[in-house]
Amino acid sequence: MKTRTSYACGTCGASSPRWVGRCQSCGEWNAVSEQYDHERIAAPTSLLATTIDEGLVVASGLAELDRVLGGGFVAGSTTLLFGEPGVGKSTLALQAMRSLAARAASVVLVAAEESAAQVARRARRLGPVPADLAVVATGDVSSAEQVIARFRPTLVVVDSVSALRDDRVTAASGSTTQVRAAAERLCAAAKAADTALILIGHVTKDGELAGPRALEHLVDTVLRIEGDRHGTLRIVRALKHRFGPTGEVGLFEMANDGLRELPDGSLSPPGAALEVPGVVWSVTNDGSRSLSVELQALVASGAGTPRRVAHQVSSQRLALLLAVLEARCHLDLGSLDVFATTAGGLPAVEPGVDAALALAVASAAEGFVVARGVAVIGEVGLAGELRPVVGLDRRLGELRRRGVERVLVPAEMAPGSPGVELVTCRSLLDVLEVARPVTP
């Protein structure tokens, strides 16, 4: 829709409130035409000609983190880094800062919860501290804002955003209103200074949607650190990323001297030497990675209502698989307790591990051992059929690297040259038949 506002002469530029045949200013004939108010018209432009300001990418130097970010932090952008207390947020941020400071980038930690001495102690635990790593212990938003505006550091980390106070906002300290107001001011400051800003937020399992996640729409990138704080595996996942793919994961291991990166193929091979019923290998796709995973099940007779416990695997999928095992594979699990998990704390929640999980339960229930060197891939449908999964080639590549020799796969899938023996199965029943040891 166009908005007619005025008329102007194409020769001398003089404006006129209505159309006239001859310009009253320069006398030119037929030079006056309609003008459009460009302020009010959203003029479409060619996408091809539109310039993209991608910003400067600041690689943290931690390959697993940069992988999740698609290269690094973007200058002027804000990243929310959240996770449960003790999962390793401060450690990861500090390691990224150290790595950047070691390459002479200016980095500042705004410590809102700890004193500078406490931060220094933690930093030294991770190794020698680079001179360019600075700390300011304050919870005052204005001070943090000034640090960003005055020094324009390459990277600023605020640990944590929930501990910031904004004196201009009357709401209680730590309340969503306070935290949001503080975050808004710092995002704006970071943008103006071209500083990459990381806001750390803690969250509890139950309170995921309150607290820091109220900031999700404000920030450019949201990273979550996942992992059992009693275990060592840590997964950094991009839940939102304005500058690249989301869902990408980075793997770390918490050690005595901080988080150690786990590049592809470095996860300690699942499947220790134990050959017991209930253990089956598979491979799960997460982000752009394929990760070998050992599924474990235990079946026990319990008293009263049978318990079904799923850890690191989906409890809905476990329930579905138990129903399919009963209805289509004639297993009687009705009165039994079933426990299912993965070894090593790796989550395996996607349907590609269905068949392996079901086989683990069957093997535990019947007491047979699934041979080592065998892995199972496939989604299980309600009819007991084995369905194809996405990214089979990638999954097979990972299993091959781990020394798997034989893989049970859905019948529809016939990849090129997988380098492992493939056994096609139409159904979960087929999988059980192939995996059960042959009795003479």
Footprint of Mg ion (CB under 5 A): 90
The answer to the question of residue 127 lying near ligand TYD (CB under 6 A) is no
Percent helix, strand, coil in the chain (nearest 5)? 25, 30, 45
* Nearest approach, Cβ of residue 244 and ligand TYD (Å): 24
The answer to the question of residue 237 lying near ligand TYD (CB under 6 A) is no
- Which of the ranges 83-91, 97-105, 387-395, 420-428 carries the binding residues for ligand TYD, by CB under 6 A? 83-91
Output the CA–CA distances (angstroms, integers) from residue 357 to 26, 278, 280, 323, 341, in the order listed: 86, 9, 7, 13, 9
The answer to the question of residue 227 lying near ligand TYD (CB under 6 A) is no
* Nearest approach, Cβ of residue 140 and ligand TYD (Å): 21
The answer to the question of residue 257 lying near ligand TYD (CB under 6 A) is yes
* Nearest approach, Cβ of residue 259 and ligand TYD (Å): 7
- Which of the ranges 7-15, 80-88, 313-321, 432-440 carries the binding residues for ligand TYD, by CB under 6 A? 80-88
> How do 107-111 and 155-159 pair as beta strands?
parallel
The token pair that represents 362 in the structure block = 């069957």
The option from Mg ion, ligand TYD, none interacting with 107 (CB < 5 to 8 A, set by class) reads: none
Number of residues located near ligand TYD, criterion CB under 6 A: 14
d(CA 280, CA 325): 16
The option from ligand TYD, Mg ion, none interacting with 178 (CB < 5 to 8 A, set by class) reads: none
Q: Which are the contacts of 101, defined by CB distance < 8 A and separation ≥ 6?
A: 107, 130, 131, 132, 133
The answer to the question of residue 60 lying near ligand TYD (CB under 6 A) is no
Characterize 359-383 residue by residue with b for buried, 16 or more Cβ atoms within 10 angstroms of its Cβ, and e for exposed. Answer: bbbbbbbeebebeebbbbbbbbbee
Q: Which is nearer to ligand TYD, 182 or 236 (CB)?
A: 236
Characterize 411-439 residue by residue with b for buried, 16 or more Cβ atoms within 10 angstroms of its Cβ, and e for exposed. Answer: bebeeeebebebbbbebbbbbbebbeeee
Q: Which is nearer to ligand TYD, 199 or 336 (CB)?
A: 199
The answer to the question of residue 79 lying near ligand TYD (CB under 6 A) is no
Q: Which is nearer to Mg ion, 90 or 427 (CB)?
A: 90
Question: Which residues ranging from 90 to 119 are in contact with ligand TYD (CB under 6 A)?
Answer: 90-91
Q: Which are the contacts of 413, defined by CB distance < 8 A and separation ≥ 6?
A: 388, 389, 392, 424
The answer to the question of residue 125 lying near ligand TYD (CB under 6 A) is yes
The answer to the question of residue 80 lying near ligand TYD (CB under 6 A) is no
22 DSSP 8-state letter: B
280 DSSP 8-state letter: E
The answer to the question of residue 88 lying near ligand TYD (CB under 6 A) is yes
The answer to the question of residue 247 lying near ligand TYD (CB under 6 A) is no
The answer to the question of residue 366 lying near ligand TYD (CB under 6 A) is no
Q: Which of 221, 178, 226, 166 is nearest to 197 (CA)?
A: 221
Q: Which is nearer to ligand TYD, 81 or 346 (CB)?
A: 81
The answer to the question of residue 258 lying near ligand TYD (CB under 6 A) is yes
Cα 362 off chain centre by: 33
420 DSSP 8-state letter: S
d(CA 286, CA 250): 10
* Nearest approach, Cβ of residue 89 and ligand TYD (Å): 3
Q: Which is nearer to ligand TYD, 236 or 374 (CB)?
A: 236
The option from ligand TYD, Mg ion, none interacting with 289 (CB < 5 to 8 A, set by class) reads: none
Which amino acid, residue 326?
E
Output the CA–CA distances (angstroms, integers) from residue 94 to 63, 150, 158, 286, in the order listed: 15, 22, 11, 26
Question: Which residues ranging from 287 to 306 are in contact with ligand TYD (CB under 6 A)?
Answer: none
- Which of the ranges 33-41, 144-152, 251-259, 363-371 carries the binding residues for ligand TYD, by CB under 6 A? 251-259
Interface residue list for ligand TYD (CB under 6 A): 83, 85-91, 122, 125, 254, 256-258
